[in-house]
Amino acid sequence: MAWSNWSGSVTAPAEVTRPQSEDELAALIRGARKVRATGAGHSFMPLCQSDELILGLDRIGDAIRISPDRKTARIPAGWSIKRLTAALWHEGLALANQGDVNPQSLAGAMATGTHGTGVDLGSLATMARGFRLIGADGEARWCDAATDPDLYQAQRLSLGMFGIATEIEVAVVPAFHLAERIEKRRWEEIRESYDALAGQHRHIEFWFFPHADHVILKTLDPCDPCDPPPSTTDMEETAFRRVLDIAAKLPFLTPWLQRGMMKTRFDGHRRGPAHAIFPSDRTIRFEEMEYEMPRALGLEALSEVVGWIRKKRLPVTFPFEYRTVAADDIWMSAMNAGPVAAISMHQYHAMPWAGHFAEAEAIFRAHGGRPHWAKRHTLTRGDVDTLYPMAERYRVVRRAADPQGKFLNRHLEALFS
Ligand SMILES: Cc1cc2nc3c(=O)[nH]c(=O)nc-3n(C[C@H](O)[C@H](O)[C@H](O)COP(=O)(O)OP(=O)(O)OC[C@H]3O[C@@H](n4cnc5c(N)ncnc54)[C@H](O)[C@@H]3O)c2cc1C
């Protein structure tokens, strides 16, 4: 079956090839002219697209290896976040933070700077301590901050250009439980109090339908061990899908539909093991753009984008998601200039998105935003250089790791060749 990303907006003619061992993987890489790796295909940008070999790594590696001090674990790179967090939990360990969903592969999530939310919590890439890579020459090498600092720095957010990762050493923490609370709050109130609230919760985010006056606020805080009761908090997906299908046929009804939806009660609690509470199910397909804004400008940028959508009565049918991510020191991370407010803009997959995203992108860029690498953006090579002081060094390391450009596709060639 031909490859497609999760939203269906990026396709490739090739089937995914799933080697069962590193030797098989190395032989495939040696024999190919062009190679891309894919995890769960959850990226919206054409990162995994290839006319030739697309590799899936989920069959390589059958166990996690925990360090004697229990502060790190070596994890097969192709394992999903779901599989690896279950294995860690079995050992009394956890990831300090996770994103919204858990089907992504560890390698894929790290390669794009995937993050969750939390004032003091960085992206998954900040948890990487070392990588086992199969290079363009088919040779295996280990890289970490001590053995090969430049390759390690580049590989922390790699977009899959520096080799195929088969194992990643990750910082882990003792297992913990989380209590989730979901409630409806007025947008004006959250706009005033978000920063104070963010300091009071380990994780906080809100969802905001641009034509409504209320937001759905979600917080997660550590709690005593408990079994997870049945979930009561996921938004009623069937009803939402019905609303989206109406909006797709009659887009002018979008503002009215959203205000109607937000009259519903949003009130929920869940408790349980952290790895079971972090993720939600996402069964409704959408397209997404996300900009990481300097934290102090996030709410202002969101207000401006929402104001523009309201003024033009644009049928943007999905809510914005607003999260916070800590600063890091990763060369190509959108968080490397300071802490950010991460603003995600979504659109139902069956409705036009490119024009709306482009106009919002201009507003985000004007406020100093930088895009999430996996989500829709229109950066050029020049933009990359303007936004990332380390871009040229990153390219130098890429050229040394892969002189023939085996791991590049058209999208990456335009930005990083
Ligand atoms: C429903 C949904 C929810 C999401 N939620 C969040 C969220 O909460 N936070 C967030 O920040 N992002 C989120 N994302 C974005 C998502 O986390 C990223 O797109 C992530 O990269 C997906 O991981 P993947 O395994 O699907 O990788 P893919 O999309 O398959 O690949 C991503 C990149 O990783 C590279 N790669 C994959 N495996 C390897 C390997 N073994 N070696 C080298 N390179 C490799 C690929 O070549 C590619 O460049 C979401 C996306 C969707 C569709």
Q: Whose CA is nearest to atom 5 of ligand 1?
A: 100
pLDDT band at 239 (very low <50, low <70, confident <90, very high): confident
For residues 373 and 80, give the distance between their C-alpha atoms in angstroms, rounded to a whole number: 19
- Is it the case that residue 225 has pLDDT exceeding 90? no
**CATH number belonging to domain 61-174:** 3.30.465.10
- Is it the case that residue 232 has pLDDT exceeding 80? no
What pLDDT score was predicted for residue 268? Answer: 84
Q: Report, as an integer, the average pLDDT of 277-281.
A: 92
Query: pLDDT digit string (tens) for 242-273?
Result: 889 999 999 999 999 999 888 887 778 889 99
The percent of residues above 90 in pLDDT, for the chain, comes to 89
Contact 216, 184 (CB under 8 A): yes
Structure-token pair, residue 76: 């097969």
How far does residue 112's CA lie from ligand 1's centre (Å)? 6
Q: What angle do CA 148, 150, 151 make, to 5 degrees?
A: 70
The overall average pLDDT reported for the chain is 95
CATH homologous superfamily for the domain 192-221+238-266+285-371? FAD-linked oxidases, C-terminal domain (3.40.462.10)
- Is it the case that residue 287 has pLDDT exceeding 70? yes
Q: Report, as an integer, the average pLDDT of 236-245.
A: 83
What pLDDT score was predicted for residue 228? Answer: 61
Query: pLDDT digit string (tens) for 80-106?
Result: 999 999 999 999 999 999 999 999 999
Whether 40 lines ligand 1, by a CB cut-off of 6 Å, is yes
Atom of ligand 1 nearest to the CA of 115: 11
DSSP of 356-411, one letter per residue? HHHHHHHHHHHTT-EE-TTS-----HHHHHHH-TTHHHHHHHHHHH-TT-TT--HH
Q: Whose CA is nearest to atom 51 of ligand 1?
A: 42
What pLDDT score was predicted for residue 14? Answer: 87
What pLDDT score was predicted for residue 340? Answer: 98
- Is it the case that residue 230 has pLDDT exceeding 70? no
Of the candidate ranges 149-163, 193-207, 223-237, the one whose mean pLDDT is the lowest: 223-237
Domain ranges in the chain are 3-55, 61-174, 192-221+238-266+285-371
Whether 43 lines ligand 1, by a CB cut-off of 6 Å, is yes
Whether 84 lines ligand 1, by a CB cut-off of 6 Å, is no
Query: pLDDT digit string (tens) for 11-65?
Result: 999 899 999 999 999 999 999 999 999 999 999 999 999 999 999 999 999 999 9
How far does residue 288's CA lie from ligand 1's centre (Å)? 13
Atom of ligand 1 nearest to the CA of 37: 47
pLDDT band at 233 (very low <50, low <70, confident <90, very high): very low
How far does residue 373's CA lie from ligand 1's centre (Å)? 9
Whether 47 lines ligand 1, by a CB cut-off of 6 Å, is yes
Query: Cα torsion at 146, 128, 290, 207 (round to 10°)?
Result: -140
Query: pLDDT digit string (tens) for 160-218?
Result: 999 999 999 999 999 999 999 999 999 999 999 999 999 999 999 999 999 999 999 99
pLDDT band at 388 (very low <50, low <70, confident <90, very high): very high
Q: Report, as an integer, the average pLDDT of 137-151.
A: 97
Structure-token pair, residue 19: 């080697």
Q: Whose CA is nearest to atom 18 of ligand 1?
A: 43
Structure-token pair, residue 87: 């294995």
Contact 270, 228 (CB under 8 A): yes
Structure-token pair, residue 255: 């503002």
